[in-house]
Chains A and B, each alone.
Chain A
Amino acid sequence: MAADPEGQISLRGVTKVFPGHGGHPDVHALGPIDLDIAAGEFFTVVGPSGCGKSTLLDLLAGLSVVTAGSATFEGKRLDGQVPDGIGAVFQQDASFFWLTVWDNVAFGLRRRGMPKAEIARRVDQALAFMGLAAFAKAYPAQLSGGMRQRVCIARTLVLEPKVLLLDEPFGALDQQTRLLMGDELLRIWRETGATVVLITHALDEAAMLSDRVAVMSARPGRFIDIVTTGWPRDRDSRIVSDLGFATVTARLWDKLREESLRAMKTPENL
């Protein structure tokens, strides 16, 4: 899938510098980066640890502001406020332990003052969609890590986001669960039609799920390659046995190997 000249999400010459404090020098975390993500695309960013992947996601979500350049969502500047239509799920468990699964998923809708009947309809639908219907009355503490992450995804999906940002959402899960959650994610992506931007350090995950994979350099993070996979839209995790999968993974690793070595040798100075 080729990027539109002006994507749903668009970055132009974006850099992010964190000002140093207490005598530490400024940290040039990211950029300059140019990027266009088309509506409905599954876009993944891989890179060595500490390369600014999460910084990039924060910028895309509108959680932080660019130091230079411009970042836009549907043509509007991202200015430090998360715009309506963007949902995000993070690596850390963000389920609300004091609420039942049902109330967790209803949280955002209630805050928006939606009519009760509509909330109930959407929550029940999202729970069924995420395979959580049987756990509606359970509390997060009673669920596994993977199930809690599903709760967070469901809580985001009920708001019907146009863009779903995922910051290593399966990073804390075991490999089998990750593959199955990958299938789940593809299904969500297909059936909601949302744009998905996934941040991960797992090459196989990136190669299996994405329309395009961007490989980031060590800090300051830049795109050193963007690989188009050419997978059909109705793919699933079984694509790992496709010959093309090995080619894509090999190309990603080829680019990433050098950067990972560089990242390992760079002392963390944050």
Chain B
Amino acid sequence: MKSTRFDYLLLLAGMLALWQLVHWAVGPDVLSSPWATIRRAGELVATRAFWDHAAATATAFGIAGVISILAGIALGLWLGLRRFAGDVADPILGTLYSIPKITLYPIILLLFGLGVSAKIAFGVIHGVFPIAIFTMSAVRNVAPVYHRTARVLRLSPAATALTIMAPAALPEMLAGIRVGVALTLLGVLIGELFASTSGLGFALIRAMDTHAVADIMAITLLLFVFAASVNALLGFVERRARHGG
């Protein structure tokens, strides 16, 4: 554990050093330095406007995340438990997962209009499929020996599902949730970039329009820290479920 932590610090230091080198190479008009970015981020988080944008993004991300998780798990469980439906749906889900969702954006806008619901919808179509796919495969991949063990222990179908199948499938489902939540955030931010009047994605595109390099970098850094924190938290939960402690 100690050596992993050290590795992380080493990686972080390496990235900062690389960032500084690129900054020197391309100049402050393209890439602001790590220190200037961190300072600018510090200034931003002291402003009211930043937190209004952050709240708008967080609201859309939160709602889209919950919808992605619930719908993804429901869809994945249903397909995972029904062999035939799963066989039919598998390639369809795979296709939906892999198509560039940005092409659907005009349709989403026409359906939901400009505003928070379009952002949520865009987040959900990014997040829901990986969660459904991981959940389906998690349910299908539960070792057959667990089914046999459940029968030898004379468990009812309900007890089998709750006490054996659910915990056995949980780690892979959580892996899907981790991927799905990351993609939900991506979807929400893309939604904000293109047609929105609030949110961090909107703040980012406005900074780009005014060529405020330090602002672009600072917002990106803050988003990066947020996304990495969410990912680390979900990764922690997943590892606990995998090893049981």
A contact set with B: CB distance below 8 Å: 61, 63, 81-82, 84, 86-88, 90, 92-94, 96-100, 107-108, 111, 139-141, 156, 159
> Quick check: B148 and A88 within 8 Å, CB to CB?
yes
> Quick check: A82 and B154 within 8 Å, CB to CB?
yes
Nearest Cβ distance between residue A248 and chain B, in whole angstroms?
31
Pick out which of these stretches binds chain A: B3-11, B126-134, B162-170, B220-228: B162-170
Chain B hits for A61, CB < 8 A: 152
Nearest Cβ distance between residue A22 and chain B, in whole angstroms?
13
- The B interface is mostly helix, strand or loop, or mixed, namely helix
Partner of B148, one of A81, A90, A107, A141: A90
**Chain B residues numbered 130-185 whose CB sits less than 8 Å from any CB in chain A:** 143-146, 148-149, 151-155, 159, 163-164, 167-168, 170
> Quick check: B153 and A111 within 8 Å, CB to CB?
yes
**B205 contacts chain A at the CB level, 8 A cutoff:** no
Q: A63-B148, A98-B167 are in contact. Are A107 and B153 (CB under 8 A)?
A: yes
**B100 contacts chain A at the CB level, 8 A cutoff:** no
> Quick check: B146 and A94 within 8 Å, CB to CB?
yes
Shortest beta-carbon contacts, A-B, top 8: A92-B145, A98-B167, A139-B244, A98-B244, A94-B149, A94-B145, A88-B152, A108-B153
> Quick check: B243 and A97 within 8 Å, CB to CB?
yes
> Quick check: A87 and B159 within 8 Å, CB to CB?
no
Nearest Cβ distance between residue A196 and chain B, in whole angstroms?
15
- Determine the distance from Cα of A148 to Cα of B133 in the docked complex, in whole angstroms: 30
> Quick check: B242 and A97 within 8 Å, CB to CB?
yes
Partner of B244, one of A81, A90, A111, A141: A141
- Determine the distance from Cα of A108 to Cα of B164 in the docked complex, in whole angstroms: 12
A90-B149, A107-B163, A111-B153 known; 10 new pairs, CB 8 Å cut-off, are: A82-B152, A84-B154, A86-B152, A87-B152, A88-B149, A94-B146, A96-B167, A98-B241, A141-B242, A159-B153
Chain A hits for B152, CB < 8 A: 61, 63, 82, 86-88, 156
**B245 contacts chain A at the CB level, 8 A cutoff:** yes
Q: A63-B152, A88-B152, A111-B159 are in contact. Are A99 and B244 (CB under 8 A)?
A: yes
Number of interface residues of B (CB under 8 A): 22
Chain A hits for B154, CB < 8 A: 81-82, 84
- Determine the distance from Cα of A96 to Cα of B245 in the docked complex, in whole angstroms: 13
Q: Which residue of B lies closest to A112 (CB)?
A: B154
B contact set with A: CB distance below 8 Å: 143-146, 148-149, 151-155, 159, 163-164, 167-168, 170, 241-245
> Quick check: A94 and B163 within 8 Å, CB to CB?
no
Give the one of A61, A97, A98, A100 with max B CB within 10 A. A98
Q: A141-B243, A141-B244 are in contact. Are A98 and B170 (CB under 8 A)?
A: yes
> Quick check: A96 and B243 within 8 Å, CB to CB?
no
Chain B hits for A99, CB < 8 A: 167, 244
Q: Which residue of A lies closest to B143 (CB)?
A: A92
- Determine the distance from Cα of A86 to Cα of B153 in the docked complex, in whole angstroms: 9
Chain A hits for B245, CB < 8 A: 100, 139
- Determine the distance from Cα of A94 to Cα of B155 in the docked complex, in whole angstroms: 15
Chain B hits for A140, CB < 8 A: 244
- Determine the distance from Cα of A100 to Cα of B149 in the docked complex, in whole angstroms: 17
A-B contact pairs, 8 of them (CB 8 A): A82-B152, A92-B145, A94-B146, A97-B168, A98-B244, A107-B153, A141-B243, A156-B152
Chain B hits for A111, CB < 8 A: 153, 155, 159, 163
Nearest Cβ distance between residue B164 and chain A, in whole angstroms?
7
Chain B hits for A94, CB < 8 A: 143, 145-146, 148-149
Chain B hits for A156, CB < 8 A: 152
Nearest Cβ distance between residue B158 and chain A, in whole angstroms?
12
- Determine the distance from Cα of A90 to Cα of B242 in the docked complex, in whole angstroms: 22
Partner of B151, one of A82, A93, A141: A82
> Quick check: B145 and A93 within 8 Å, CB to CB?
yes
Nearest Cβ distance between residue B19 and chain A, in whole angstroms?
38
Q: A92-B143, A98-B170, A111-B163 are in contact. Are A63 and B151 (CB under 8 A)?
A: yes
Chain A hits for B155, CB < 8 A: 111
- Determine the distance from Cα of A108 to Cα of B154 in the docked complex, in whole angstroms: 9
Chain A hits for B146, CB < 8 A: 94
- Determine the distance from Cα of A121 to Cα of B143 in the docked complex, in whole angstroms: 31
Chain B hits for A139, CB < 8 A: 243-245
- Determine the distance from Cα of A218 to Cα of B163 in the docked complex, in whole angstroms: 39
Q: Which residue of B lies closest to A165 (CB)?
A: B152
- Determine the distance from Cα of A172 to Cα of B47 in the docked complex, in whole angstroms: 63
Chain B hits for A108, CB < 8 A: 153
Nearest Cβ distance between residue B227 and chain A, in whole angstroms?
28
Give the one of B159, B167, B243, B244 with max A CB within 10 A. B244
